[in-house]
Amino acid sequence: MKHKIFLSSPHIGHKEQEYIKNAFDTNWIAPLGPLVSGFEKELSGYTGVKHAAALSSGTAAIHLALIMLGVKNDDFVICQSFTFAATANPIRYQGATPVFVDSEKETWNMCPKHLENAILFCLENGKRPKAVIPVHLYGMPAKINDIVAIADKYDIPVVEDAAESLGASVNGKQTGSFGKFGILSFNGNKIITTSGGGALLSDDEELIKKARFLATQARDNAPHYQHSQIGYNYRLSNVLAGIGMGQMEVLNERIENRRKNFERYQHCFNQINNKGYNISLLPEAENSFANRWLTTVLINPDENKGITREKLRLAFEAENIEARPLWKPMHLQPVFQNFPYFGERTAENLFNIGLCLPSGSNLNDDDWRRIENVLFEVFE
Ligand SMILES: *Cc1c(COP(=O)(O)O)cnc(C)c1O
């Protein structure tokens, strides 16, 4: 069997092991240390957000943001439906009610119009939502200025899920820097990785200090262990921050490679569409720069001789190549289907006809040959 081509596999640079060796040599093998602080400075510098807390995951970052915004039982939190479950799960950790919002067609992210309807629904039910969580899915920036303007109008803080979009920007301003909080993920499949990890970003220094405090078991300042709040064990280890330091050195190269993947797919599908198919890729909106974490396509069988995205996925699978349907919206998930939803069927339709293509920054010529063979066989 030929080696497996993954949707998005880790791509390590040259410096990571050097940083890790430094952690070992200095015996900083702890959930704090100079590499954690260094990684936080790098993240802050890159995103243009004043402060960053390096954490054990992106999910932990969302959870801490919601805790600091006071999200509790009986609160509403508005969340993009078209996302990965990790965006919504922390709302339930706090016992609050997620209110899901559909996507718009241009960026596939939170629809500002439906967002406003969801806010009005919460207000009519006597509760101001405690947070709005938009996502820049697949590294495509959402209409974040419109979303923030609506949230501001109703005085609701924005927690920007930039887990998939590190390096993407709108008018040159980085995703993750628009809301009260931004969150990043360094899971193994993301554009850069620490094998597992995340970060919380904010311009508010006090909030980031508080996040670090909560993430290290909420230990009060005393010689003994003293606690006046519930804490969490959410800090990133100094060893893993070493991987992060190395990965930050190659982040721009990784973005360049992912954007080249998109162009290569676009070239393939142009040829395929010239043969009577109509497969579409997602263009960037004006003034927006996508990191192209994953290249995605829409394959409407009515416009493609009956060929479905599932047929293409299975053809890839038969060649040991991973492809994955677009994320199934949260309001259609068994665990979330009874919560309020505002929108139409945009996200649902994307899920039904969309596919994520292999998009690693380390695809080689042989991998591409295998991928293109499948594409040109399925779409003859
Ligand atoms: C990966 C991801 C997360 C969660 O990050 P982890 O580091 O895996 O906990 C949150 N939101 C989105 C959209 C993601 O893709």
Q: What is the CATH number of the domain that holds 358?
A: 3.90.1150.10
219 in the same domain as 355:
no
225 in the same domain as 258:
no
pLDDT at position 305 is: 97
β-strand partners of 99: 78
| Residue bearing the CA closest to ligand 1, atom 11 | 87
Q: Which of 250, 278, 298 is the last residue of a domain?
A: 250
Taking the centre of ligand 1 as the mean of its atom positions, its distance from the CA of residue 48, in whole angstroms, is: 21
Instruction: Give dist(CA 93, CA 67) in Å, integer.
Output: 10
User: Which of helix, strand or coil describes residue 149?
Assistant: helix
146 in the same domain as 34:
yes
221 in the same domain as 131:
yes
275 in the same domain as 216:
no
pLDDT at position 30 is: 82
363 in the same domain as 264:
yes
Does residue 32 sit within a domain?
A: yes
For a mutational test of ligand 1's pocket, the pick from 7, 8, 56, 59, i.e. the residue with the most ligand atoms closer than 8 A to its C-beta, is 59
Distance, first Cα to last Cα, the chain: 25
Instruction: Give dist(CA 156, CA 148) in Å, integer.
Output: 9
Q: What is the mean pLDDT of residues 289-302?
A: 98
Instruction: Give dist(CA 207, CA 282) in Å, integer.
Output: 36
For residue 1, is pLDDT > 90?
no
Per-residue pLDDT band for 212 (boundaries 50, 70, 90) equals very high
Residue 332: give the domain boundaries: 252-378
Instruction: Give dist(CA 155, CA 241) in Å, integer.
Output: 35
Using the structure block, give the residue that is written with the tokens 């990571």. Answer: 16
Chain-centroid distance of CA 207 in Å reads 22
342 in the same domain as 269:
yes
pLDDT one-digit tens code per residue, 138-188 = 999 999 999 999 999 999 999 999 999 999 999 999 999 999 999 999 999
246 in the same domain as 257:
no
Number of domains making up the chain = 2
pLDDT at position 336 is: 98
For a mutational test of ligand 1's pocket, the pick from 79, 137, 160, 164, i.e. the residue with the most ligand atoms closer than 8 A to its C-beta, is 164
**Is the separation of the CB atoms in 186 and 244 below 8 Å?**
yes
User: Which of helix, strand or coil describes residue 187?
Assistant: coil
Does residue 276 sit within a domain?
A: yes
Taking the centre of ligand 1 as the mean of its atom positions, its distance from the CA of residue 114, in whole angstroms, is: 23
Residue 368: both structure tokens together: 């591409």
Does residue 1 sit within a domain?
A: no
Atom of ligand 1 lying closest to residue 196 CA: 7
Ligand 1-lining residues (CB < 6 angstroms): 57-59, 83-84, 86-87, 135, 161, 163-164, 185, 187, 198
Q: Which of 233, 250, 267 is the last residue of a domain?
A: 250
69 Cβ contact partners less than 8 Å away, ≥ 6 residues apart: 130, 131, 157, 159, 180
pLDDT one-digit tens code per residue, 351-364 = 999 999 999 999 99
Instruction: Give dist(CA 63, CA 73) in Å, integer.
Output: 14
Which is it for strands 173-174 and 169-170: parallel, antiparallel or unpaired?
Answer: antiparallel
Q: Which of 250, 283, 298 is the last residue of a domain?
A: 250
Element (H, E) at 202: strand 198-202
Per-residue pLDDT band for 326 (boundaries 50, 70, 90) equals very high
307 in the same domain as 189:
no
Does residue 294 sit within a domain?
A: yes
Does residue 295 sit within a domain?
A: yes
Taking the centre of ligand 1 as the mean of its atom positions, its distance from the CA of residue 87, in whole angstroms, is: 7
260 in the same domain as 200:
no
For 135, list phi and psi in degrees, rounded to 5. Answer: -130, 145
Does residue 10 sit within a domain?
A: no
For residue 113, is pLDDT > 90?
yes
Does residue 299 sit within a domain?
A: yes
pLDDT at position 377 is: 97
pLDDT at position 68 is: 98
pLDDT at position 262 is: 98
DSSP 5: B
Instruction: Give dist(CA 205, CA 334) in Å, integer.
Output: 39
187 in the same domain as 78:
yes
pLDDT one-digit tens code per residue, 218-276 = 999 999 999 999 999 999 999 999 999 999 999 999 999 999 999 999 999 999 999 99
CATH code of residue 23: 3.40.640.10
For residue 32, is pLDDT > 90?
no
pLDDT one-digit tens code per residue, 299-323 = 999 999 999 999 999 999 999 999 9
For residue 325, is pLDDT > 90?
yes
Does residue 103 sit within a domain?
A: yes
203 in the same domain as 174:
yes
Nearest alpha carbon to residue 293 among 261, 246, 333: 261
Residue 117: both structure tokens together: 């309807």
